[in-house]
Copies of this chain bind each other. A is one copy, B any other.
Amino acid sequence: MRSAPSGFSTKERILGVAETLFARHGFAGASLRQVTAAAKVNLAAVNYHFGSKESLIEEVFRRRLDELNRHRLAALATVAARPDHTLEDVLDAFIRPALEQSMDSAGGTAFVRVLARAFAEHDERLRKFLSDNYGHVLREFAAAFARLLPQLDKQELYWRLDIVAGALTYAMADFGMIKRKGDVSERSHREQTIQHLIRFSAAGLRS
């Protein structure tokens, strides 16, 4: 195991760069030659370490998705432990980890765009992968929401959570027309997004 120039292993550097470039140009649009050049790694390294471009894409997903799931479930557990927790608390546990992942030092906003893209690709293979790795988390949150919104039947609750997920996905990818002003830090802009999403979603869920 030779240590890589920047202190990260070849494999890690490929994953990081791939995440960025897939987010920027799409899975088909970003070539392995671009990835390996940006990572200062030999072209053959991808096939050596991951087997294929396809597998590399899956690895990019798995790495971040596992992290997001961990954070969301931990936040939900903390919130649910408090007997007086509110709808806003559960929304926070759902929304905050997703938006905060987009400002961690390493990945930047790259991964959440990759995630949004995966939805857009509408590829059944990827959707199945996401639902397999994601389904139980959504179900846990749905149960927590159901306890706080007993007046909603299951069907109605799922409709509304779908809308929350949509607004969150959109915000995660930073699609919106709201542009961060120069004098507002990234952290504070993100916090504003979180607060707006929570308030809006709580009103919609309760209506």
Whether A48 is near chain B, meaning CB under 8 Å from some CB there, is no
Q: Which residues of B contact A177 (CB under 8 A)?
A: 138, 158, 162, 165
Please provide the chain A residues from 183 to 199 with a CB less than 8 Å away from any CB of chain B in the complex. 192, 196-197, 199
A contact patch SS: helix
- Of the candidate stretches A8-16, A22-30, A34-42, A50-58, the one touching chain B is A22-30
Query: Once the chains are docked, how many angstroms separate the CA of A160 from the CA of B204?
Result: 12
Query: Once the chains are docked, how many angstroms separate the CA of A67 from the CA of B79?
Result: 47
Q: Which of B27, B168, B178 contacts A162 (CB 8 A)?
A: B178
Closest residue of chain B to A199 (Cβ to Cβ) is B207
A117 to chain B, nearest CB (A): 4
Whether A45 is near chain B, meaning CB under 8 Å from some CB there, is no
Q: Which of B120, B163, B199, B204 contacts A120 (CB 8 A)?
A: B120
